[in-house]
Amino acid sequence: MRYGDISSFQSGVAVPLFSLRSHASIGIGDFLDLIPLARWASLCNFDIIQLLPVNDTGSESSPYSARSAFALNPAFINIQSVAGSSAFEGEINEAKESFEKSDRVEYYRVTTWKRAILRKIFDNSYDQIRHDKALTTWIERNEWAKPYCVYCTLKQQNNEASWKDWSDYRDPDAEQVGKLWTKFRKDCLYHAWMQYVAEMQFCTAVSEVSQMGLHIKGDIPILINEDSADVWADRKYFSLADRAGAPPDMFSYAGQNWGFPTYRWDVIEKDNFSWWRKRLAQASKFYHAYRIDHVLGFFRIWTIPEQEVTGILGHFEPSVPLTWDVLHGAGFCRQSLEYLRNPNYSVDQLRGFLGDDTERLVAKCFENLPSTTDRFILRDEYSSEKQILAMEEPQAVKDAMLRVYWNRVFIPTGSDDVFYPYWYWYNQPVLYTLPQNEQDKLHDIIHANEHAQNALWEQNAMKLLSVLANETDMLVCAEDLGAVPPCVPTVLNKLNILSLRIERWARNWNVQYSPYYDMEEYPRLSVCTTSCHDTSTLRGLWKEPDFDKNLYWSHAHQMGSAPDELTPPVVRNILTHVFSTNSLFCILPIQDYFALSSTLSAGNPENERINVPGTVGGNNWTYQLPCLVDELLKLTSLSSEIRKLVDERKRRAMWKI
């Protein structure tokens, strides 16, 4: 859907659909809850409502762990609006009463119940449903539907195990998928019917939201779960030998391994990007704008071998590697390069890693370097992070073994002539065993190679992102956080893709004290926000021990020292400053608007967090609003405060680019 002409600064609210609560919803927000939310957003004079992904994730609560790039999450279906639900009114009311006792989303319990009650409704109305011409037409118009429904049916038959663990049908072709659809037609039709109902409800909500003059911004994750209908049915587009993640940074020494397969972009390109084009066409049914999650992955993705657990042994793909010719020309021989890629050790060197466990671990985990008796290498059975972490040893021993395994200048690549530097190559013990002149040569060669990547990444992103930017009339926004290559702003500007500015991270990290950028310095083609689903809220930030309140307070052009507490008047001053941004869009999380209300911000700010990256816990992806969305309409003082901010922003002249 087209966003439309933009003649004033745009403002909005970001809220996960699962966080909404209404008089009608049961245990989790649903598509129809967008309608009362939009009524409140209208009172605030917002332009846009931003959502997290709403794809089917099965029993996984994270919206970024989709088991389909196309299918919607049946958990977001409003049960009472489904034809035939009245036959189960008592059971539905009982479940509603039960779920209302919780102040968090009990994701597994609610999604299990919803699928079960939908199955009862489906079975009870099967004779009518199987003859429904509208449903049949919908299935034929959505070519992803049959493979997805067959996948879901087989997954149920295999007790929800990954397709990799099925005894049959692990690698089907289109003909086999068609036969399985026929063989298990009723069960497949159940999944198709749920998708049809979900799409009709979502479209109904989007239509009403649009009629109120509001827009919906969706979120399209770049990656797909390995255990998904897409990887199962369209295997040719994915590399299962690799996993995607993020390189090490200040927050994670070992980087991140997201566990998702990488794309085989060469195959996708030969197919004219049809899979991505279809994915965007599906999204355009619901959204006026969308956020590209991890847009840096379209420039280069951090690729990790499948046998590794962390992200530390990855490399960027595509990238310009160092080659044998370059390194040999600099005076390095094969033996030296192999030593830098897979070091060998004396017992004394291993003692520096393994301490008192050295002799025991050498006998268990190492073998002699061929043709030597005093140099050792890791045995094959301990030559990956998975194998080391599976050892029946204390964690301290495993950590020491990982340090041995990570001690290298180049990572293994499977090619004798291609060399990718290990992320921490510059401070590894093996490097310091070289003569100083060889260390200096490696520093010069590797640093020169780092600067050679930018042109390749710019070319790659222009090719891939041009498809996304030009395929639909949706407004395109990017999540461009992380270690941003110099070419990123250039490409986004060329393609009119909006970047992202999260205020707490929008700082000049190359200058002493890392001062904040002024709000007027934000690019016009950007989305500004105070927080996101992976950070603390504004109230939570204020409580973080490492947060420099006074530096932030000065950035916000406030006098004196920062107050100890974020009271609503303090929040109003902060948001007034944030709304002065030069960014075209200012879209804040709903929790940071709630900080304007003493009633809605009375609880522990930690409970407002949506996700803590790198952790697995019951509070991730379970945040619920502290009040029913219907009740927001009664909080007139809150909507009035927000409207003042929004209206002042709309009145500002837009001449400055």
Beta bridge partners of 510: none
Distance CA 444, CA 451 (A): 11
Q: What is the pLDDT of residue 616?
A: 80
**Angle (CA) 457 461 464, round 5°:** 140
Give the model confidence (pLDDT) of 523-576 as tens digits. Answer: 999 999 999 999 999 999 999 999 999 999 999 999 999 999 999 999 999 999
Please state whether 273 falls in left (phi above 0), alpha (psi between -120 and 50) or beta.
left
For residues 325-332, average pLDDT: 96
Q: Does 494 have pLDDT greater than 80? A: yes
Alpha-carbon torsion (330, 331, 336, 337), positive or negative: positive
Tokens 């400055």 sit on residue: 656
The single-letter code of the amino acid at 532 is C
Q: How many helices (H) and strands (E) does the chain have?
A: 27, 17
Crossing angle for the helix pair 185-211 and 145-157, to the nearest 10 degrees: 130
Distance CA 172, CA 166 (A): 12
Q: What is the pLDDT of residue 655?
A: 67
| Gyration radius (Cα) of the chain, Å | 27
Distance CA 44, CA 184 (A): 49
Distance CA 183, CA 194 (A): 19
Alpha-carbon torsion (300, 306, 311, 314), positive or negative: negative
Alpha-carbon torsion (562, 564, 566, 572), positive or negative: negative
Distance CA 329, CA 112 (A): 62
Q: What is the pLDDT of residue 644?
A: 98
Q: Does 54 have pLDDT greater than 50? A: yes
Tokens 């307070």 sit on residue: 553
For residues 472-500, average pLDDT: 95
Give the model confidence (pLDDT) of 401-459 as tens digits. Answer: 999 999 999 999 888 999 999 999 999 999 999 999 999 999 999 999 998 999 999 99
Domain boundaries, the chain: 321-451
Beta bridge partners of 498: 477
Give the model confidence (pLDDT) of 444-453 as tens digits. Answer: 999 999 989 9
Q: What is the pLDDT of residue 580?
A: 97
The three-class DSSP label of residue 317 is strand
Per the CB < 8 A criterion, the answer to whether 297 and 244 are in contact is yes
Distance CA 67, CA 161 (A): 13
Report residue 614's pLDDT band, with 50, 70 and 90 as the boundaries: confident
Per the CB < 8 A criterion, the answer to whether 47 and 276 are in contact is no
Beta bridge partners of 218: 290
Q: What is the pLDDT of residue 195?
A: 98
Give the model confidence (pLDDT) of 130-139 as tens digits. Answer: 999 999 999 9
Tokens 């197919």 sit on residue: 271
Give the model confidence (pLDDT) of 354-377 as tens digits. Answer: 999 999 999 999 999 998 899 999
For residues 224-234, average pLDDT: 97
Give the model confidence (pLDDT) of 381-395 as tens digits. Answer: 999 999 999 999 999
The three-class DSSP label of residue 288 is coil
Q: What is the pLDDT of residue 250?
A: 76
Whole-number mean pLDDT of the chain?
96
Strands (E), 162-224: 215-220
| Cα 265 versus chain centre, distance | 19
Distance CA 408, CA 339 (A): 8
Q: What is the pLDDT of residue 233?
A: 97
Report residue 260's pLDDT band, with 50, 70 and 90 as the boundaries: very high
Helices marked H in 125-165: 126-129, 133-141, 145-157
Among residues of the chain, what percentage have pLDDT more than 70?
A: 100
Q: Does 656 have pLDDT greater than 60? A: no
Report residue 657's pLDDT band, with 50, 70 and 90 as the boundaries: very low
By CB atoms closer than 10 A (0-12, 13-18, 19+), residue 518 is: middle
Give the model confidence (pLDDT) of 83-113 as tens digits. Answer: 999 999 999 999 999 999 999 999 999 999 9
Per the CB < 8 A criterion, the answer to whether 283 and 220 are in contact is yes
For residues 64-87, average pLDDT: 97
Among residues of the chain, what percentage have pLDDT more than 90?
A: 94
Give the pairing type, strands 289-292 and 418-421: unpaired
Per the CB < 8 A criterion, the answer to whether 9 and 582 are in contact is no
Q: What is the pLDDT of residue 540?
A: 97
By CB atoms closer than 10 A (0-12, 13-18, 19+), residue 375 is: middle
Q: Does 617 have pLDDT greater than 80? A: no
